[in-house]
């Protein structure tokens, strides 16, 4: 399966890509970033975000502008979706105007309904289940750092959330060993872990543990995310004591490979899931990672729109 096979398709999960397609897409991200490849279009992207966003919103917008297209912000507060117009109806109408649609919402099922009723490509810009665009940029950031992905080891510390789920799938497809270390009761969904194990390439090991120190041992990439995601704000304070042993701090980093890098999808809570010292330290690649969201989504849109 080649990149051309993705023309007109949706990207609801990284499992929508084959290992070969993911590899080719990451290469396209690198080529667009370096200027080796230039692509243009005259297309219109819609952004329908039911949750807050800085990086995803701005990086999608700038990426489409750089491709030569236009962007419409379909803020639910000022469109009829916020007043309860059914997704099935909204999706069929947007399909007639737009060329491509990125949706950030809560339930994966709602995203799937958008994709079912809109014939144009629909992209998952984050759901409670998954954040594939983030992980596309993360893998490209890792490739940029280490030259290749297969055989690397990544440790994810914290909540078994949307980012953890997409990392499991993305690492599996890229042949990256992944260990997800969470407090008891906050593990990723078993169905996603099983899906990652089934997709694993080149013998990549997929592991889930409650032991943060063992998880970080020898790791090339240490990754963390907020302890309470959007929609879980009321649990934030009660989670802190349970999650403290999983903080990305200098003590835990001492167990990782000395050349390990630190990633965080942002936004971050310094002093909770990551210390200011680690975030601002020499191992952090967090700002490159944020920049790469733009290159990654440009490549993704180019492929789904058939520019490539």
Q: Give the residue numbers annotated as catalytic, written as ranges.
A: 104, 131, 134, 225, 265, 293
265 binds ligand NVA (CB under 6 A): yes
Query: Taking the complex as a whole, how short is the minimal distance between the CB of residue 93 and ligand CP, in angstroms?
Result: 25
What is the distance between the alpha carbons of residues 103 and 115, in angstroms, rounded to a whole number?
10
How open is the CA angle 78-229-278, to the nearest 5 degrees?
A: 125
Member of 17, 226, 286, 305 binding ligand NVA (CB under 6 A):
226
Q: Taking the CB of residue 214, how many other CB atoms lie within 10 A of it?
A: 13
Member of 99, 138, 144, 225 binding ligand NVA (CB under 6 A):
225
Residue placing its CB nearer to ligand CP in the complex, 135 or 212: 135
266 binds ligand CP (CB under 6 A): yes
Residue placing its CB nearer to ligand NVA in the complex, 69 or 132: 132
Query: Taking the complex as a whole, how short is the minimal distance between the CB of residue 255 and ligand CP, in angstroms?
Result: 26
Give the pairing of strands 206-209 and 70-73: unpaired
The option from ligand NVA, ligand CP, none interacting with 225 (CB < 5 to 8 A, set by class) reads ligand NVA
Query: Taking the complex as a whole, how short is the minimal distance between the CB of residue 225 and ligand NVA, in angstroms?
Result: 5
Nearest CA among 29, 21, 47 for reference residue 100: 47
Which of these segments, 32-40, 183-191, 223-231, 272-280, binds ligand NVA (CB under 6 A)? 223-231
Which of these segments, 73-81, 166-174, 246-254, 261-269, binds ligand CP (CB under 6 A)? 261-269
Q: Which residues ranging from 116 to 135 are in contact with ligand NVA (CB under 6 A)?
A: 126
Residue placing its CB nearer to ligand NVA in the complex, 23 or 229: 229
Under 8 Å CB-to-CB from 12, ≥6 apart: which residues?
108, 111, 112, 115, 122, 124, 130, 132
Residue 13 structure tokens: 């999960």
The option from ligand NVA, ligand CP, none interacting with 54 (CB < 5 to 8 A, set by class) reads ligand CP
Which of these segments, 69-77, 84-92, 212-220, 260-268, binds ligand CP (CB under 6 A)? 260-268
Which residues are registered as beta bridge partners of 51?
none
Q: Which residues ranging from 38 to 67 are in contact with ligand CP (CB under 6 A)?
A: 53-56
Q: Which residues ranging from 217 to 256 are in contact with ligand CP (CB under 6 A)?
A: none
Member of 229, 283, 289, 297 binding ligand NVA (CB under 6 A):
229
Residue placing its CB nearer to ligand CP in the complex, 56 or 90: 56
134 binds ligand CP (CB under 6 A): yes
Binding site for ligand CP (CB under 6 A): 53-56, 126, 134, 265-267
Binding site for ligand NVA (CB under 6 A): 126, 161-163, 225-226, 229-230, 265
């Amino acid at each position: 399966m080649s990149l051309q096979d993705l023309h007109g398709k949706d990207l609801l999960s990284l499992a929508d890509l084959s290992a070969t397609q993911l590899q080719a897409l990451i290469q396209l991200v690198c080529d667009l970033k370096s200027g080796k490849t230039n692509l243009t279009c005259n297309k219109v992207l819609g952004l329908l975000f039911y949750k807050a966003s800085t990086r995803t919103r701005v990086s999608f917008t700038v990426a489409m502008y750089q491709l030569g297209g236009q962007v419409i912000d379909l803020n639910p507060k000022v469109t009829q979706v916020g007043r309860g117009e059914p997704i099935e109806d909204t999706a069929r109408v947007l399909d007639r105007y737009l060329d491509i649609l990125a949706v950030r919402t809560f339930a994966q099922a709602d995203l799937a309904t958008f994709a079912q009723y809109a014939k144009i490509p629909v992209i998952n810009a984050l759901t409670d289940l998954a954040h594939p665009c983030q992980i596309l940029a993360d893998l490209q950031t890792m490739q940029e750092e280490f030259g290749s992905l297969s055989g690397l080891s990544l440790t994810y510390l914290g909540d078994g959330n949307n980012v953890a789920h997409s990392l499991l799938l993305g690492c599996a497809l890229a042949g990256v060993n992944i260990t997800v270390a969470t407090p008891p009761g906050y593990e990723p969904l078993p169905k996603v872990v099983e899906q990652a194990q089934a997709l694993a390439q080149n013998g990549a090991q997929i592991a889930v543990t409650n032991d943060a120190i063992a998880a970080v041992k020898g790791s090339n990439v240490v990754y963390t995310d907020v302890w309470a995601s959007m929609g879980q704000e009321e649990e934030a304070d009660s989670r802190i004591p349970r999650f403290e042993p999983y903080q990305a701090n200098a003590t835990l980093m001492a167990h990782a490979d000395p050349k390990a890098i630190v990633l965080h999808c942002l936004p971050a809570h310094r002093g909770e899931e990551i210390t200011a010292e680690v975030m601002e330290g020499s191992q952090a690649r967090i700002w490159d990672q944020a920049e790469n969201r733009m290159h990654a989504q440009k490549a993704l849109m180019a492929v789904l729109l058939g520019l490539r």
